[in-house]
Structure 1
Amino acid sequence: MQMNLQLHHVVQDVTGATGMKIIRSIVAGERDPEELARHRDVRCKASSETIRDALVGDYQNEHVFELTQALALYDFYQTQVAQCDERIEVVLRQLHANAAPVSTPLPAALRRSRQSNDFSFDVRAELYSMLGVDLTQIHGFGPYLALKLVAECGADMSRWPTVKHFTSWLCLAPGNKISRGKVLSSKTRRSSSKAAAALRLAAVTIGKTDTALGGFYRRLSARIGKAKAVTATARKIAVLFYNTLRYGMKYVDPGAEYYEERYRQRVLNNLTRRADSLGFVLQAKPT
């Protein structure tokens, strides 16, 4: 920005293919905007002319030196991340080295797109070989979240007798502060659990999807607020995680429309029952 280069305004991610090629070319000594724009990747939404105009600036030696230092640090951290991925892969293979091989093949992934923070190896396949189930079939679960929850909670869910014990351990279940039979508070307990924080982030993400869990989040959010809806949705995801690992449950999403129809039918049944208790008959509005 100090050199009046507006690359970050025309390229969505400067650490992507187009941005990194241009930055490396600048560090190497290229200053011609026309030549720099030739590094545009075919997947980049901005045109070559737009990128060329954004690269007309005032190149100062001290700022180019600072950019060179930043690029060197970026490459160093990328190397460190790659080494961490290699270490995680080795540990996962050691964990399932003595496990019985899974007879069924790995199911197809729900999401085909690759994220910028993905692992350098197929973590889905490694987790499937170790657990025997594919956690990423649950909406809101990606390979990173699945690995993080397994690291925090383990793979043996029998340590918790029921799913209620598990959600209470995560501090996602309502509290039970009761005195002389009177409920004083049912707020969830505060927790520093990394697993609970990850589940809450997944709940926020899944609230934007056209799934049954997304419909559940949106309905609760409109009724009781977003904070409580996030906790309730996170608890639902934790229940699916527990049942999948302990009982091998296969999650099949019925869709948001199915969930909304079930909710509508439940409301109608309640209204019909109340009208009947008061001596009335509930009738549909004529079309």
Structure 2
Amino acid sequence: MSKSGKALGLPIVNVRAAGIDIGARIQVAAVPPELSDDPVRTFGSFTADIEQMANWLTSIGITTVAMESTGVYWVPVYEILEAHGLTVVLANARDCKAVPGRKSDVNDAQWLQRLHACGLLRASFHPAPDIAALRAYTRIRERHLEYAAAHMQHMQKALTLMNLQLHHVLSDISGVTGLKIIRAIVSGERDPDVLASMRDVRCRESLQTIRAALVGNYQPEHVFALAQALALFDSYQDRIGDCDRQIENSLRALNADRPKPQTPLRAARIRTKQANAPKFDVRALLYQLTGTDLTLIHGLGPSLALSLVAECGTNLGKWPSEKHFASWLCLSPGCKISGGKVLSARTRRGSSRLTSQLRLAATNVGRTETALGAFYRRLAARVGKAKAVTATARKLAILFYRAMRFGMQYQDPGVDQYEQRYRERVVRQLERRAARFGFSLQPAAGGVS
């Protein structure tokens, strides 16, 4: 209390702010008491109810609304409120936990309104509508790929039950040779010589080995299971093709008002195409959209570059620095300090799709003869592979941020230059430590340069 008897509190930043508690059946909206005689109202979850809520908020002069990211129930509310001209802040649930005490939808809505009015809520990243559509298509495609992979495992199980050791003689049964043989088996072919003759010329195993692996115990129920899995696999492949067409159309729509780059696109570093890559020229469309060739960064193939653009958009200015971007991806060390003592530096856990893909790319780039590969191997030998994967994934994220934000054209310095720079850095550290104790380092005669 102040000397005059008035209650003191946090300063109000957003005067015309509202808070909405999102639910599956009802939405509870809370506004400042001075703007309405009924500051808390409950609305249904039907579209007409949400429209009514948006009209009520705009009629009393509300300009900004805060809500929690509750499941997927917030999506239609977010889009309808945004269409009515309101600034919507989608807050993370961990940032707006209610104070201890009784909990209800009304209390949650009022607490959100209070936090937002005082400017204590940070808006979660939400892309523009055109990028959001591209993101939805890519996520649907990724889900179809997961389902198709599950049915491929069902096919492999059916083959094993028939003692057809196809997965032992072929590196991938979903390749040209594997699918051709599986389709022939489903069609009724049982002759191992005929099945082995479908071998592709690129197969490493000999014709005799493949023939021996195709002598099996063809039981009707196992053949039926194989046919069912193959039909579902083919169905998902068709759906993936539909997603590819939608993604291509979205990229072309984004490039409609963008001029074509004056510098022609360089030849691809890797000629081989990924099995699950989109069936159109992703590199050319992304090059026109972003103005830079993201695939020059080792580890970022066309598919991963497409996922990064679909999830983050083309304007990375919403993250003030590369450190903010890495922290958003949960690839930065934690910072829990109390009393000057570091309590924990563990990386915060997250469920981001990009983080998982960047970690997988970091593992793959660790096997390459590049500067990033040398960095991964050096760190893995010192602190372990788990931390090396996180650190390398963070480097990939920072390189992507610099390319998108500042137009950086990445050039790999090479393993030798990286090792030389690392050696010079270690020598400087040793010289400083020796000088601290009153010594000086001298190069040995005939030493290793």
Q: TM-score, normalising length from structure 2?
A: 0.61
Give the whole-Å Cα distance in 1 for the aligned partners of 2:200 and 2:162. 23
Post-superposition offset of 1:16: 1.0
Aligned 8 A contact 1:27 1:64 in 2? yes
Query: Are residue 242 (structure 1) and residue 428 (structure 2) matched?
Result: no
Q: Post-superposition shift, 1:197?
A: 2.2
Where do 1:1-287 residues align within 5 Å?
1-287=160-446
Over 3 Å counting, the alpha-carbon distance change for 1:284 and 1:92 in structure 2 is same
CA contact (8 A) 1:153 1:195 kept: no
- Which amino acid in the other structure matches residue 98 of structure 1? D
CA–CA distance in 2 between the matches of 1:2 and 1:160?
53
Alpha-carbon distance in structure 1 between the residues aligned to 2:209 and 2:305: 40
Distance 1:231 1:105 in 2: 34
Task: Report the aligned-residue RMSD.
Answer: 1.6
Q: Which amino acid aligns with 1:218?
A: R
Gap regions ≥5 residues in structure 2: 1-159
Distance verdict in 2 for CA 1:137–1:54, change over 3 Å: same
CA distance in 2 between partners of 1:2 and 1:190 (Å): 40
Partner SS for 2:161: coil
Per-residue CA shift, 1:64-99, capped at 9, x if unaligned? 222222221121111111111111111111111111
Higher helix fraction: Structure 1 or Structure 2?
1
SS at match of 1:93: helix
Unaligned runs of 5+ residues in structure 1 are none
Task: Return the offset for 1:164.
Answer: 1.8
Inter-partner Cα distance in structure 1 for 2:220 and 2:334: 61
Kindly tell me: are residues 173 and 62 of structure 1, through their superposed partners in 2, closer, same or farther at Cα, counting changes over 3 Å? closer
What secondary structure does 1:271 align onto?
Answer: helix
Structure 1 residue 56, shift from structure 2 partner:
1.6
User: Matched residues in 2 for 1:72 and 1:192: separation?
Assistant: 32
1:182-222 CA distance string (max 9 Å, x none): 43333222222222222222111111111111111111112
How many residues were matched structurally? 287
Q: Deviations over 1:139-192 (max 9, x none)?
A: 010111111111111110111222122222222222222334443333222222
Measured after TM superposition, the shift of residue 236 of structure 1 is 1.1
Deviates more, 1:16-25 or 1:191-200: 191-200
Q: What fraction of aligned residue pairs are identical, expressed as a percent?
A: 61
How far 1:42 moved relative to its partner? 0.8
Name the CA distance, whole Å, in 2 between partners of 1:198 and 1:8: 26
CA distance in 2, matches of 1:41, 1:185: 54
Greater fraction of residues in strand: 2
TM-aligned CA deviation for residue 49 of structure 1: 1.2
Distance in structure 1 (CA, Å) of the matches to 2:434 and 2:420:
21
Secondary structure, aligned partner of 1:213: helix
**Relative to structure 1, is the Cα distance of residues 29 and 190 closer, same or farther in structure 2, using a 3 angstrom cutoff?**
closer
3-state SS of 1:192 partner: coil
Q: Please give the alpha-carbon distance, in whole angstroms, between the structure 2 residues aligned to 1:163 and 1:216.
A: 19
Q: What displacement does 1:276 show?
A: 2.8
* Deviating more after overlay: 221-230 vs 231-240: 221-230
Report how far residue 24 of structure 1 moved. Answer: 1.4
Cα displacement string for residues 218-254 of structure 1 (whole angstroms, at most 9, x for unaligned residues): 1111212222222211111111101101111011111
Contact 1:5 1:54 (8 Å CA) reproduced: yes
Find the aligned partners of 1:4 and 1:175 in 2 and give their Cα distance: 51
